[in-house]
Amino acid sequence: MKVDGTIYRTVSINGNSVCLINQNTLLSGFEIYESKNHIETCEAIKNMTVRGAGAIGAAAGYAMAQAFVEAPSKKFLDYVEKAKQEIESTRPTARDLFDATEKVFRTGLKSRDNSHRKNLAKFEAGYIAKQNEMACYSIGIIGNGLIANNSRILTHCNAGWLAFVDYGTALSPVYIAKRRSKKLHVYVSETRPRNQGASLTSWELRNEGIPFDIIVDSASAYLFSKGKIDMVIVGADRIAVNGDTANKIGTLEKAILANEFKIPFFVAAPTSTIDRKCKTGQYIVIEERSQDEVLYQKGLTRHGKLEEILVAAPGSTAINPAFDITPAKYITGIITEKGIIRPCENGINKIL
């Protein structure tokens, strides 16, 4: 994707440094953060410099490769095993993080020679990032087939090209539809507490020249009731084999609303987001994040400075579950790189 005419990748590697578009500071300007070792990459995942299922999957794969490069000859295995645990403890919900870490770890250990191991790990991490990008492009092509001209689409959180290595998931069909000259309007729900919709999805849509309006999270019922939404497309962090889907907190209420108002509700995700070991949504671990994300809001002052302010009565406490689970029964279809899965028709089993 291009930013001001230059092509960027959300996650890439330069030597042994992982380059990430800094999503925490995007409001004040576009910058690339470079993490020099796997510990710094883990920190960037935890503090959400990089976020979004596919992007943290790619970053985790590269972090694993960094650990292979760093590992001392003696205690090589101990070092990479410990690093794997560190990477896997950064964020619990997004499936792609565990998928990538496991794949790079296994591929790296296919050789007995340490220098060969380092190359194998780096190669596998790069391959995962590339696969991620290609899957998202296919999701765009397949999902575009569902979008009629003049559609008004509601999305939640950010599942665009900041959340994956390129193209994104929920927004990829929107981007392809735009390139095929379809007229569209996107409603972006702001996605409190971290505002991924208001700050990231809006930033992407502006870049792509797609008309949109931000709505407060609680405005979607009103828009549905006024017949202003034709379809919903959201991303996913982990999908159980029965189709139950974990995505950003607030997704479930949009799914229930879409069902009530008989509006199609689509999830877009690559098949790497499907957890074959997870039978239903009840087994998906939901990340609990700091209450400070609810109590404080970060934004730009009128003078262009990023600042955090308290938006709750002093002394308040908050809870901050980062994801919810949408039962398969509310999902019209899951748009994957292999086709559209109908979860209620045992569709996931047919595709696996």
**Residues assigned a catalytic role:** 237
Contact (CB, 8 A) for 42 and 20 = no
> Using the rule CB under 6 A, is 281 a contact of ligand MRU?
no
CA distance 344 to 331: 8
* Helix, strand or coil, per DSSP, at residue 165: coil
The verdict on 129 binding ligand MRU (CB under 6 A) reads no
User: Please, which residue, 107 or 199, has the CB nearer to ligand MRU?
Assistant: 199
Q: Return the residues of window 172-211 that contact ligand MRU according to CB under 6 A.
A: 196
Judged by CB under 6 A, the number of residues near ligand MRU is 16
What are the strands of the beta sheet with 238-239, ordered from one edge?
Answer: 238-239, 245-248, 323-326
Nearest distance from C-beta of residue 118 to ligand MRU, angstroms: 29
Q: Which of 1, 10, 52, 334 binds ligand MRU (CB under 6 A)?
A: 52
- The pairing of strands 323-326 and 245-248 is antiparallel
Residue 141 has φ and ψ, to the nearest 5°, of -65, -45
Least Å from the CB of residue 149 to ligand MRU: 25
Helix count (H) and strand count (E) of the chain? 11, 17
In the complex with ligand MRU, the residue whose CB is nearer, 218 or 346, is 218
Among 19, 53, 65, 278, binds ligand MRU (CB under 6 A): 53
Task: Return the closest-CA partner of residue 157 out of 94, 281, 50, 251.
Answer: 251
**3-state DSSP call for residue 113?**
coil
Q: Is 272 in the site for ligand MRU (CB under 6 A)?
A: no
Interface positions, 216-255, toward ligand MRU (CB under 6 A): 234-237, 247-248
**In the bound complex, what is the minimum distance in angstroms from residue 235's beta carbon to ligand MRU?**
2
What is the DSSP code (8-state) at residue 288? B
Residue with CB nearest ligand MRU?
Answer: 235
Stretches 81-89, 120-128, 156-164, 291-299: which one binds ligand MRU (CB under 6 A)? 156-164
Site for ligand MRU in 284-313 (CB under 6 A): none
Among 66, 169, 195, 332, binds ligand MRU (CB under 6 A): 169
Q: Which of these segments, 2-10, 155-163, 180-188, 296-304, binds ligand MRU (CB under 6 A)?
A: 155-163
Pairing of strands 151-156, 231-234: parallel
Evaluate the omega torsion of the peptide bond into residue 193 and state whether it is cis, within 30 degrees of 0. yes
* Alpha-helix residue ranges (DSSP H) falling in 145-182: 172-179
Query: Closest approach of Cβ 51 to ligand MRU, in Å?
Result: 4
Which residue is it, tokens 């690093």? 83
Choose among 104, 94, 103, 99: nearest CA to 52: 94
Q: Which of 100, 125, 157, 241 binds ligand MRU (CB under 6 A)?
A: 157
Picking from 115, 174, 183, the residue whose alpha carbon sits closest to that of residue 145 is 174
Instruction: Answer yes or no whether residue 270 interacts with ligand MRU by CB under 6 A.
Output: no
Q: Which residues bind ligand MRU (CB under 6 A)?
A: 51-54, 157, 159, 163, 169, 196, 234-237, 247-248, 322
